[in-house]
Structure 1
């Protein structure tokens, strides 16, 4: 297995993986990303980064992440937005290898922590994260302003 960073020409593949992940999470209707939007936000504006996991030269998974910041630590953090591995390649250590790569990036970039969210029904992922010694942040609640609410608040 190997990894490679995404390049602009990978936008259709990135979107395909996003759609596969959305189907797995039963959230297909929520995907409004387009190739043009991903190209602009990932490669022109550089809001996030993507790398692929490859098996025998074939992309079988992806990770999309960006940096946040901890005021308490005074350091950046690495926020993993999405990590997805195609079903037939799960259970082969690819997820752990991808988390190791992310951890190496975080350490190299002087990040104080790495965080991500997980749907509460996704027990296989929860078990995997616990096996990595990740700690659930169950004293915190996630809040979200959607685009419509953001626009209304900004007025």
Structure 2
């Protein structure tokens, strides 16, 4: 790090409010504030009780400056699990100091340590700073793939058909 050494810690149940705060700041950055319906209770349930995701914090001098929320997925072609990075966010005032790179490097190390075959994520098409950042790390854009989603009412309707 340019200013200080980064450390990491996994989130615990008591961090639900901190996680929600990072999610809201990310939503603000992505102009999607109205889409956030998560609550501390939902995060505690799904992350810590049901163990469906994990959160890693990047810390500078003991203060959380960034977070990554991720979970395991599975590649049938590789025949093994991978890590899917749902969210990566560094506080605006802490950007440019290497914390995002450090988080991705740590996630890559976790994937290797766990025997995963890949680390994947999505990025909004308009987010050029992030796209440039990911490319600088050697990440490949999957041009031939499109993301599809069922959620809310369309998800319920699909389940009923």
Interval of TM-score (by shorter of Structure 1 and Structure 2): over 0.9
Structural RMSD (CA): 0.6
Other structure's SS at 1:105 match: helix
User: Which one has more relative contact order, counting CA pairs under 8 Å at least 6 apart?
Assistant: 2
1:107 aligns with 2:112: yes
Residue 34 of structure 1 is aligned with which of 26, 39, 62?
39
Q: Whole-Å Cα distance in 1 between the matches of residues 158 and 126 of structure 2?
A: 32
Other structure's SS at 1:83 match: strand
Residue 76 of structure 1 is aligned with which of 81, 103, 109?
81
**Which stretches in structure 1 are left out of the alignment for 5+ residues?**
none
| TM superposition score normalised by structure 2 | 0.95
1:48 aligns with 2:53: yes
Q: Whole-Å Cα distance in 2 between the matches of residues 8 and 70 of structure 1?
A: 29
Residue 119 of structure 1 is aligned with which of 121, 124, 127?
124
1:87 aligns with 2:97: no
Would you say how many aligned residue pairs link Structure 1 and Structure 2?
Answer: 155
Q: How far did 1:132 drift?
A: 0.6
Q: How far did 1:147 drift?
A: 2.2
- Show the counterpart of 2:21: 16
**Which stretches in structure 2 are left out of the alignment for 5+ residues?**
1-5
Q: Whole-Å Cα distance in 2 between the matches of residues 93 and 37 of structure 1?
A: 31
